Structure 1
Amino acid sequence: MNTLLSIDKRNAVLTRMAELLEQEREALKAINQQDLANYNGEDLAMEKRLLVDDAKVDGMILSVQQLASQEDPVGQIRYEFTHDNGMRISNKTAAFGTILIIYESRPDVTVEAGGIAFKSGNKILLKGGKESLLSNQKIVSLWHQALAENGVSTDWVEYLNYDRVQTQAFLEKPTQRVDLIVPRGGEKLIEFTKKHASCPVIVSGRGNNFLYINADADLDKAMNIIINGKTSNISVCNALDKVLIDVNLPNWQSFANELVTKLKSYNVTVLGDEAIANATQIPTIENDLIWYEEFLDYKIVIGTVNSNQEAIEMINKYCGGHSASIITEDKTIAQEFMENIDASSVYHNASTRFTDGGQFGLGGELAISTDKLHQRGPIGLQHLVTNKWYIYGEGQVR
């Protein structure tokens, strides 16, 4: 196990990494173009996640700069108690040790997740996808340069260039100690990791996010929030997939028609339940299984409900436990909805696209957990720690 580095040393490495990303910006973009040229292009969402352009590099730099400026998540006192016999007992945050991150196609994760794990005192094993290999190797070489220039061993950040068979073998019988695994990607990757892992796994689950338009909704807000949630970025887990309209909404049919027209103008494929299909002449869904699906595409399903309770029950049945939003001007109804929806992040009159560590002020995220242990929602710096008890005595025996 690596000895915990001082916070000054960790911050110095992060600050240097930000400088190196700026310095090597053009080289990184050029190498990424090779990855893009090698990619067969069969998955639009994957291709968007793979691209490294100036905006992505800016994001990478910002994330390590933000991390360097945040306080140390390790050694924070969570609880203190003095025993009757005079012993002082405290519970403090502690690093996990070694964290393995398995992800697909996103070179920015090599920076962001690597930085969060390192800042929280952990060694990181990065297992990226083959489609982003050249970009990832370039970024890892920058990590190694930042570490070496600060007199820190380069094995704090290690890249595992493994195929599926090698990855499975490593998960089942790790050749080095691994304390926590975080898979970031589709359901197949998550299932594969959970099936084969021999240590705890934090599940960064699917999206399949819902938005409910209550009878007291402001329809301009509803329209803007739906268009943003569905079309601003289709390749992310916080994108919107399902809309439920309360049939007690006055003139709901005319709003449904406006919404369908607007979505189609963005080339979104729109499907509906029977009531929506009858009101708007869009195709009807084939069966209810589609309500479980996360699309990661220009596709949306619109349905109707008769009450707030029905909306809550439907969302809890089908959503991925990620994000859900209610559009209403009634704050009491909004609060009741938010308290009863079983998801990591619940919204009132806002887009689900904000479920993100950076947007929540965490300075980026390692993943967005749909598990309830040990942390739910965006996992930031302060969540990537375990805890440890410190007991100070003077010879006490029990």
Structure 2
Amino acid sequence: MKLLKTAVKNAVLESMERILHEHKDELLLANQKDLAAFNKDDQALYDRLVVDDKKVGQMIQAVKEVRLQEDPVNKEISKKHLENGLEITNKTAPFGTIMIIYESRPDVTVEAAVLAFKANNKILLKGGKEAYYSNKALVKFWHMALDEHNLGKDYIQFLEMDRTQTQAFLKNPDQPLDLIVPRGGERLIAFVKEHAKCAVLVSGRGNNFLYVHPEADWQMTKKVIINAKTHKISACNALDKILLDINLPDYEGKIQELARLLKEHQVSLVVDEKVSKSLPNEERIKENSIWQEEFLSMKCVIGSVANLEEAVVLINENSGGHSAAIMTSNNQVAQEFMDAVDCAAVYQNASTRFTDGGQMGVGAELAISTDKLHHRGPLGLKQLVTNKYYILGNGQIRN
């Protein structure tokens, strides 16, 4: 793929910022069509679908922030001069063509495209049918920006496919395909992994845990839990499981206080056998599979553990590998926890809601990767490149 000059890419992005501003009303009208056709029973998905003035402003800001970031392509990673005279340089290079499959969230249509384009990739956008009109409008805006600078529309493509057509495309794409990012639930991820013929980078489910250690600051703990659980239930970085150490001072009193606080915030509770002794009126865990469930709702499990090691085992066996937190004033214990927990982001004394490209200083993100290759955590601009070796010689042959 031809490498575009940074100035050209930035000019396209500047045009997109202007077009988003000038055509805001057109986008809002398209979004109203999507909202009118949506079943509001799924509150989490509905929340992700909404586009308003604030969201348009965030889209514009996301494009601007990527435009102002350094171009990640063709950067030297390493350079070596070998004894045989070969000069070997390793540089960053575009992936090529990236496909992203996602539900709802029209802002992904902006963030995914701006990141892929600035990193000199083509991107295929397969959004959900619930955001059809919003996504069509946004892709139209992208094509307007590309056309202003005499670039082909194939850099940013909108795929209008149903499930059967998507399956067929994954098995036999009609163009080169280098990477697929399924951004959704486990069913979507399994579907893509089953049928894809190229690399798949998983943007995994949340199902995030928080462990309350005996040396936790209780007032801080309550504040963090409420934020992580209730701030935005539709986010993959929301909290679903709370583990209280049985050695916590006034263990029973704290469980009861936490339960009251969560219920004041309209959070329904499910508790394990140990906790149910302190909260006899709350629903008991019926199936252990609930420990692996991502709720995306005002629902939370409260469980008990005997120590740090038990908390780590429970988290590693059940979490989505996204985010986990420990509440403790003991820094050594916190370090042990963060080293042992197998998640993309681990926290001491802070809400899991910060696992987000913008909040972590990465900027706009394509997804939160829970894979370990080639990158884990927020997939920002710098993560949307691979590498290539350039070897310069003067006739060397291998003996």
| Alignment gaps of 5+ in structure 2 | none
* TM-fit CA distance, 1:118: 0.7
1:169 and 2:168 are equivalent in the alignment: yes
Amino acid at match of 1:303: G
- The two structures have a TM-score, normalised by structure 2, of 0.98
CA distance in 2, matches of 1:25, 1:266: 34
Aligned length: 397
Amino acid at match of 1:154: K
Amino acid at match of 2:91: K
* TM-fit CA distance, 1:271: 1.2
CA distance in 1, matches of 2:23, 2:253: 53
Q: Deviations over 1:292-318 (max 9, x none)?
A: 111011100001111111111111111
| Alignment gaps of 5+ in structure 1 | none
* TM-fit CA distance, 1:397: 2.6
* TM-fit CA distance, 1:32: 0.2
Indicate the residue corresponding to 1:360 in structure 2. 360
1:309 and 2:309 are equivalent in the alignment: yes
Indicate the residue corresponding to 2:387 in structure 1. 387
Q: Residue 171 of structure 1 aligns to a residue in which SS?
A: helix
* TM-fit CA distance, 1:354: 0.6
CA distance in 2, matches of 1:299, 1:148: 47
User: Which structure 2 residues correspond to residues 67-216 of structure 1 after superposition, within 5 A?
Assistant: 67-216=66-215
Identity %: 54
Amino acid at match of 1:317: E
* TM-fit CA distance, 1:76: 1.4
Amino acid at match of 2:147: A
After TM superposition, the structure 1 stretch with the greater mean CA deviation from structure 2, 287-296 or 107-116, is 287-296
After TM superposition, the structure 1 stretch with the greater mean CA deviation from structure 2, 81-90 or 118-127, is 81-90
CA distance in 1, matches of 2:219, 2:149: 53
Amino acid at match of 2:395: G
* TM-fit CA distance, 1:257: 1.1
CA distance in 1, matches of 2:75, 2:326: 36
Q: Residue 72 of structure 2 aligns to a residue in which SS?
A: coil
Q: Residue 280 of structure 1 aligns to a residue in which SS?
A: coil
CA distance in 2, matches of 1:60, 1:25: 11
After TM superposition, the structure 1 stretch with the greater mean CA deviation from structure 2, 273-282 or 183-192, is 273-282
Amino acid at match of 2:369: S
Amino acid at match of 1:262: L
RMSD: 1.0
Indicate the residue corresponding to 1:9 in structure 2. 8
- The two structures have a TM-score, normalised by structure 1, of 0.98
CA distance in 1, matches of 2:275, 2:57: 42
CA distance in 1, matches of 2:48, 2:202: 20
Indicate the residue corresponding to 1:237 in structure 2. 236
Q: Deviations over 1:59-96 (max 9, x none)?
A: 11111100000001111111111011222111111001
Stretches of 4+ moved more than 4 A in 1?
none
CA distance in 2, matches of 1:357, 1:40: 29
After TM superposition, the structure 1 stretch with the greater mean CA deviation from structure 2, 19-28 or 300-309, is 19-28
* TM-fit CA distance, 1:394: 2.5
